[in-house]
Amino acid sequence: MATFEVKGGTPLEGEIRPQGAKNEALQVLCATLLTPEKVIIHNIPAIVDVLQLIELFEKMGVIVHRLGEGSYSFEAKEIDFDYLQSDDYRDRAARLRGSVMIIGPLLARYGVGYIPKPGGDKIGRRRLDTHFIGWFENKNQGTRFVRVDADVVDKLIEKENNLKMALSSAQQDLLRPVFEAQLPAEDKIRYTVSFEPMAENQMPVMITQNEFMRRMKDMAAMGGSGMQFYGQLPDNFNVVINGNHPLVAEILGEVEASYGDKLKTTNKKLDAAIAEQRSFEELVKDKKAEDFSQEEKDKQQEVDKKVEDLRRQRTERLTEIGRENKLVKQVVDLALLSNSMLKGENLTNFIRRSVELIGK
């Protein structure tokens, strides 16, 4: 096996010309199929996948000329569609992971394209449906594809008759940290709790994933620096609480009972502090922050801190209540289970807890 020996201590000097990136080169090359005009591209890397794609283009009928090291001209005047249905095309295209990008320009220019199952490495997910769906939606305005877990059922199909929310905004604020307390703490997953007015016979808690972000991450898995940003982002899931479900109403009652009279006292103090904060904001609304007097700056800091401290104290207590509430844990785990996100010890604990709750 070849080795490299690196000896430090010597400053680097000289000039280098960065080699063209393979993934970007494949995309740019496929874009030449969009036009019958001659296209000249420089700094094409001499990498096997890239050279095989150029060779495939020639077989498809593209006029290709090598102009120099890393420089080529492409002229896709005509495409041999008979060749696209041949065994040779299927064999050559199946060797390349990037061959899937041929179909986009063909569909855009001719309305038809052929592609076998791409080959290449098998590292990570390399989904193809994102490309087809994006093209179809672009051609058929007003049509959209969403996975059934991309949104709650009542919102997947847009309807005019909207349900009313049984929970007030204050009650939602009360329950949010309670549910957040039972969500898994994972480095690469983020959960956002929201409330939706759904039918009573729907699940009390559902987990959905934003369709746009899902598509961007799927496309990032296909390669290309333009999408890599999305691939590095954590997975974001929406934890949707059914504000009209009887179990959620029951949980609200348990939370209020656990907090006791202190909840009313804390809420009164918080409401008073927020009112004072808004009164101050109204008083200085015509001033810029840099024009505040020292007295006004001190007052702003005082009221902001008061609101922040009261909210933090209430959130900490609600978080404690949420961690101790088995019903909250049960409905959250049920939502995770329905998305195949509950595994190992957590799944075992869910089963045991289910037996305990059934026994009651």
Q: What does the alpha-carbon distance between residue 227 and residue 217 come to, in Å, rounded to a whole number?
A: 8
Crossing angle for the helix pair 129-139 and 211-221, nearest 10 degrees? 130
Q: Which two tokens stand for residue 188?
A: 């690469």
Please give the C-alpha separations between residue 272 and each of 139, 266, 282, in angstroms, as whole numbers.
Answer: 55, 10, 15
Tokens 């045991």: give the residue: 352
Coil/strand/helix, residue 82: coil
Phi, psi of 5, deg, nearest 5: -105, 120
Q: Is the separation of the CB atoms in 270 and 310 below 8 Å? A: yes
Going 198 to 201 to 204 to 205, the CA torsion angle's sign is negative
Q: What does the alpha-carbon distance between residue 54 and residue 51 come to, in Å, rounded to a whole number?
A: 5
Q: What does the alpha-carbon distance between residue 172 and residue 240 come to, in Å, rounded to a whole number?
A: 12
Is position 271 annotated as part of the catalytic site?
A: no
Q: Is the separation of the CB atoms in 235 and 228 below 8 Å? A: no
Q: What does the alpha-carbon distance between residue 204 and residue 338 come to, in Å, rounded to a whole number?
A: 12
62, exposed or middle or buried, with CB in 10 Å at 0-12, 13-18, 19+? buried
Q: Is the separation of the CB atoms in 163 and 197 below 8 Å? A: yes
Q: What does the alpha-carbon distance between residue 61 and residue 66 come to, in Å, rounded to a whole number?
A: 16
Selecting among 121, 187, 261, 291, the annotated active-site residue is 121
Q: What does the alpha-carbon distance between residue 90 and residue 83 come to, in Å, rounded to a whole number?
A: 9
Question: What DSSP designation does 201 have?
Answer: T
Q: Is the separation of the CB atoms in 292 and 312 below 8 Å? A: no
Catalytic residues, by residue number, are 121
